[in-house]
Amino acid sequence: MSFLLTATCAVPAVGAVVTAALPAGTTEARRRTSRATALGFSVAALVLAAVIAARFSPDGPRYQLTESYSWIRAFGISFSFGVDGIGAVLVLLTAVLVPLVMLASWHDAAPDSGDSVAGTPAPDGSFENNRRTQGFFALILAVEAMVLVSFLATDLFLFYVFFEAMLIPLYFLIGGFGDRAGGPEQARQRSYAAVKFLLYNLLGGLVMLAAVIGFYVIARDQNQGTFDLQALTRAIADGKLVIDSSAEKALFLGFFFAFAVKAPLWPLHTWLPNAMGESTAGTAVLITAVVDKVGTFAMLRYCLGLFPNASKFFAPGILVLAVIGILYGALLAVGQKDIKRLIAYASISHFGFIIMGIFAMTSQGQSGATLYMVNHGISTALLMLLAGFLISRRGSRLIADFGGVQKVAPVLAGTFLIGGLATLSLPGLAPFVSEFLVLVGTFTRYPALGIIATLGIVLAALYVLVLYQRTMTGPVKASVSGMPDLKARELLVAAPLIALTIALGVYPKPLTDLVNPAVADTLVQVHRTDPAPVHPVAATPGGVTK
């Protein structure tokens, strides 16, 4: 038994504690120390994640590097970790994005200066104020640790606990840190966004708790009183654990509700634009590119793995919601005036694609959906972080406040364009591969839905290009004229993301190799095989009827 997975989760957790415990950031040097410490821990986590990916063999069993430690024996709960191909790529994604988010947010959590929230005298020198920097970076590490546990847990209860607990650090990230330029109205908005985020997700989580308890009780009545995922899926496959149809549907809905809030699926999405709009760009990336992936990941692993029949039963309905989400998100993105909210709605549209790929239940669809999670993470992180750089230069999130940026800051505009093009799935960039796979995968089983969903691509081109055109091209607005171009630190954030976008667009094979066996296993669990390709009606031999 190796300790690799535990270590991967523990490193950021320890980092969070260490960062929070460093001496208060009264001087810039001390603040730099705490930022560097946090970054160091996140890089260490990245190294461990890379080791996981390297040691994972796609041809081996589904869950590898497994570890298990007893936790609460009374309820059959253990600290069980194991990684499958889907988990491995998402762990990599998380580990790559968190250091970049930190680097991008380097100065976002400086202590308040005089003109702080609400115009009240700044609590200068207060404990809280001096610890802002540490608090922000410690919270990011805490979120990273919890997300990693959710991806690596092979114990249903362990997953639930961290799925739910990660809301708390996120809640403080959203509510406590944002652009502070806006005065009391903005502070109110931000607090509203944080509460909305927490209540939506908490409700989802509590409904899931009821389902978890119900599932446990049913399983225990059949002498399968455990939360161990592998044991449970084996018992279901062997027919040792039989859940009657109506109970299975109810449990499925309980789980799915929580994941659909988190993902977010239309119509449970409304917390996302608020949360992403009001938080810092770094937090927004953390939410949409990392945390929300836990929702879609869990649909794939838990909904499909534990409730195969109910998944098949509800799939058509979920697909319809997903397609509505694709179009709805895209249409609303077209109409946004606020850059961050635009990206949020675009994400809702993209989550529609991911969920569609999962519930189409074809191998292309699900491989595509998993790739989509990664690619969406990378491309949205790129676009959002650059948008954050742009916004911090002007002090406004409104599209109308920008214009002609490409003349003053060509590098910023160019990288922003790459992020945009990735978001609209330009062929050659990573998201194209996954979007194509999802659409093909859906089309082979549900042609009508596949065709309607394609409209989402058209709308994506519209909202991305209009955003670029309004902010970057045209005459240089007076307010933009002195805008500096990307600094070295910012380039350092953008460069790896751009490289990944291009590399995975041209050569996605390393990822697909990791993902495909796990997807195949999931499809076996739900007893689905790919529909046989439909051949065009073969011409009658001889070819002539008359």
Partner 1 sequence: MSLMTLAASGNTPSIPAPQIEYGQLSPMLIVFGTAVVGILLEAFLPRRLRHPAQVGVALLGLAGAFAAVLVLAIQGYGGTRSGLLAMGSVALDGPALFLQGVIILASVLAVLSYAERGLDPRIDGVPQDPFTAQAAATPGGEQEQLATRAGFATTEVYPLTLFAVGGMLLFPAANDLLTMFVALEVFSLPLYLLCALARRRRLLSQEAAVKYFLLGSFSSAFFLFGSALLYGYSGSFRLPEIADAISGTAPITPALANTTQNDALLLIGLAMLAVGLLFKVAAVPFHAWTPDVYQGAPTPVTGFMAAATKVAAFGALLRVFYVAFPGVRWDWRPVMWGVAILTMVAGAVLAVTQQDVKRLLAYSSIAHAGFLLTGVIATNRQGIAAVLFYLLAYALVTLGAFAAVTLVRDSRGEATHLSSWAGLGRRSPLLAAVFALFLLSFAGIPLTAGFTGKFAVFQAAAAGGAIPLVIVGVLSSAVAAFFYIRVIVLMFFSDPQPNGPAVVIPSTATATVISVAVAATLVLGLAPQYFLDLASKASMFVR
**Vertex 397: Cα angle to 396 and 400 (nearest 5):** 85
Task: Give exposure, 154-166, as e/b (b: 16+ Cβ within 10 Å).
Answer: bbbbbbbbbbbeb
Helix (H) or strand (E) holding 462: helix 447-472
Q: Which is nearer to partner 1, 172 or 436 (CB)?
A: 172
DSSP 8-state assignment for residue 216: H
Question: Smallest gap, in angstroms, from Cβ of residue 241 to partner 1?
Answer: 16
Instruction: Quote the least distance from Cβ 79 to partner 1, whole Å.
Output: 11
Q: Which is nearer to partner 1, 35 or 131 (CB)?
A: 131
* CA 146/CA 161 separation, integer angstroms: 9
Nearer to partner 1, 106 or 255 (CB): 255
| Sign of CA pseudo-dihedral 83, 88, 93, 95 | positive
Give φ, ψ of 59 to 5 degrees. Answer: -85, -10
3-class DSSP assignment, residue 79:
strand
- Min CB(234)–partner 1 separation in Å: 23
Residue 197 Cβ vs partner 1, minimum distance, rounded to whole Å = 10
Instruction: Provide the token pair at 163.
Output: 């799925």
Residue 294 or 472 having the CB closest to partner 1: 294
Give 77 or 497: the residue with its C-beta nearer to partner 1: 77
User: Looking at beta carbons only, is 71 or 436 nearer to partner 1?
Assistant: 71
Name the residues that contact partner 1, by CB under 8 A: 70-75, 117-118, 120, 123, 126-129, 131, 160-162, 164-165, 167-168, 171-172, 175-176, 184, 187, 190-191, 194-195, 198-199, 202-203, 206-207, 209-210, 213-214, 216-217, 220
CB neighbourhood size of 543 (10 A): 6
Percent of the chain as helix, strand, coil, to the nearest 5: 75, 5, 25
Sequence-distant (≥ 6) Cβ neighbours of residue 276 within 8 angstroms: 284, 287, 288, 340, 341, 343, 344, 347, 384
φ, ψ at 70 (rounded to 5°): -70, 140
In this complex, which beta carbon is closest to partner 1, that of residue 184 or of residue 410? 184
Query: What is the torsion angle, in degrees rounded to the nearest 10, for the CA atoms of residue 330, residue 336, residue 341 and residue 347?
Result: 10
Torsion of CA 466, 469, 472, 473, to 10 degrees: -170
At closest approach, how far in Å is the CB of 162 from partner 1?
A: 7
Shortest Å, Cβ 192 to partner 1: 9
C-alpha span between 270 and 196 (Å, rounded): 9
CB of 204 to partner 1, least distance (A): 9
CB 129 within 8 A of CB 122: yes
Local structure of 83: helix, strand or coil: strand
Nearer to partner 1, 295 or 377 (CB): 295
> Least distance from C-beta 160 to partner 1, angstroms?
7
Nearer to partner 1, 51 or 195 (CB): 195
Longest alpha-carbon distance in the chain: 95
> Cβ of residue 131: shortest distance to partner 1, in angstroms?
7
Residue 78, helix vs strand vs coil: strand
Q: Work out how close the CB of 276 gets to partner 1 at its nearest, in angstroms, rounded to a whole number.
A: 17
Nearer to partner 1, 15 or 420 (CB): 15
Structure tokens at 306: 């534990």
